[in-house]
Chain A
Amino acid sequence: MLFNSLEFGVFFALVLPSYYLLRGRRRAQNWLLLVASYVFYGWWDWRFLGLIAASTVVDFVAARRIADGPAGHRKRWLVVSLAMNLGALSLFKYFDFFTSSAIDALHSLGLEADPILLHITLPVGISFYTFQTLGYTVDVYRGDAEPCRRLDDFALYVAFFPQLVAGPIERAPRLLRQIANARRYDPGQIELGVWLILWGLYKKMVIADQLAPIADRAFAGEVSPGLDVLLGALAFTFQIYGDFSGYTDIARGVAKVMGFDLTLNFRIPYLALSPSDFWRRWHISLSTWLRDYLYIPLGGNRGGTAKTYRNLMITMILGGLWHGAAYNFVLWGVYHGLLLVSFRPFETRFAAMPKVAKWAIMFVLTVIGWIIFRAPDLESLGFMFGSMGVAPSAASLGTAARMAARIAPLLLMWFFQARAVDLAVVQRLPTHARVALYVLVAVATFVFGKRGATEFIYFQF
Chain B
Amino acid sequence: MSNPIWKLPGETVPQRTLRGTGRVVGATFVGILAVNFAALIAMQGVTTNLGIFLVETKFELADSMREPVDWIFVGDSTCNQGLSPQEFEVQTGQTAINLCTTGNMTVVGDVWVLQRALDAAGPPRRGVLVTHVYDAWARDEETLRVMGQRVPGTNEWRRDRALMPADFTELANANVGRFFPLLTRPRSVDQLIFGLVRERPTRALDERGFMDGGAARPSMVRQDVREHLANDDDPAISELNRRALAAIDDAVDVPVWIASAPMVDELWADEGIRERVRTAFEGPHELAEARPGLRVLRSDPWRYRADQMSNADHLDGPTAVVHTRAVVEALRAAGALD
Contact = CB atoms under 8 A, between A and B. Distances in A.
Nearest to A417: B9
Contacts of B92: none
A267 interface: yes
B3 A355 contact: yes
Given A191-B25, A446-B186, A422 B17 contact: no
Contacts of B183: 446
Given A421-B4, A423-B10, A436 B31 contact: yes
Nearest to A355: B6
A457 interface: no
A380 interface: no
A73 interface: no
Contacts of B202: none
B18 interface: yes
Contacts of B18: 185, 187
A192 B28 contact: no
B14 A431 contact: no
Which among B11, B14, B219, B226 has the highest number of chain A CB atoms within 10 Å? B11
Given A427-B13, A436-B31, A190 B8 contact: no
A424 interface: yes
B6 A187 contact: no
Interface string B1-33: 001111111111111111011011101100110
B13 A439 contact: no
B190 interface: yes
Interface string A432-449: 001110110011001111
Interface string A412-431: 00010111111110011001
B92 to A, nearest CB: 40
A422 B9 contact: yes
Contact of A188 (B8, B13, B27, B35): B13
Contacts of B27: 435
Nearest to B188: A447
B28 A424 contact: no
Interface string A194-213: 10000000000000000001
A188 B14 contact: yes
Given A189-B13, A194-B25, A435-B31, A443 B8 contact: no
A435 B28 CA distance: 6
B28 to A, nearest CB: 4
Interface string A315-335: 000000000000000000000
A271 to B, nearest CB: 7
Contacts of B114: none
Nearest to B219: A222
Nearest to B21: A187
B182 interface: yes
Contacts of A220: 226
Contacts of B10: 264, 267, 421-423
Contacts of B189: 446-447
Q: How large is the interface on A (under 10, 10 to 19, 20 to 34, 35 or more residues)?
A: 35 or more
A359 B6 CA distance: 9
Contacts of B190: 447-448
Contacts of B11: 192, 264, 422-424
B193 interface: yes
B222 interface: yes
Contact of A447 (B4, B7, B186): B186
A449 B13 contact: no
Contacts of B24: 191, 194, 431, 434-435, 438
A268 interface: yes
Contacts of A434: 24
A174 to B, nearest CB: 14
B4 A419 contact: yes
B31 A191 contact: no
A273 interface: yes
Contacts of A177: none
Nearest to A266: B9
A439 B33 CA distance: 9
B22 to A, nearest CB: 8
A427 B182 contact: no
A404 B191 CA distance: 19
Contacts of B16: 186-188, 191
Given A417-B9, A421-B9, A436-B31, A188 B21 contact: yes
B9 A268 contact: yes
Interface string B186-212: 100110010000000000000000000
B178 to A, nearest CB: 16
A238 B182 CA distance: 26
A439 B6 contact: no
A280 interface: yes
B31 A431 contact: no
A451 interface: yes
B272 to A, nearest CB: 16
A281 B8 CA distance: 8
Contacts of B8: 267, 277, 280-281, 421
Contacts of A435: 24, 27-28, 31
Contacts of A418: 4-7, 9
Contacts of A438: 24, 28, 31
B58 to A, nearest CB: 24
A451 B9 contact: no
A281 to B, nearest CB: 7
Contacts of B193: 447
Contact of A422 (B12, B23, B31): B12
A213 B226 CA distance: 11
Nearest to B182: A446
A447 B184 CA distance: 9
A428 B35 CA distance: 25
A428 B12 CA distance: 9
24 contacts: A187-B17, A189-B13, A191-B24, A191-B25, A192-B13, A194-B24, A194-B25, A194-B28, A213-B223, A268-B9, A277-B8, A355-B3, A418-B5, A421-B10, A423-B9, A424-B11, A424-B12, A427-B13, A428-B14, A431-B20, A438-B28, A439-B31, A446-B189, A447-B186
A-B pairs with the 5 shortest C-beta distances? A439-B31, A187-B21, A187-B16, A188-B16, A446-B182
Given A359-B6, A449-B186, 12 more contacts: A186-B13, A192-B11, A264-B11, A267-B8, A271-B5, A277-B8, A421-B4, A422-B9, A424-B11, A428-B14, A438-B28, A439-B31
Interface of B: 3-18, 20-21, 23-25, 27-28, 31-32, 35, 182-183, 186, 189-190, 193, 219, 222-223, 226
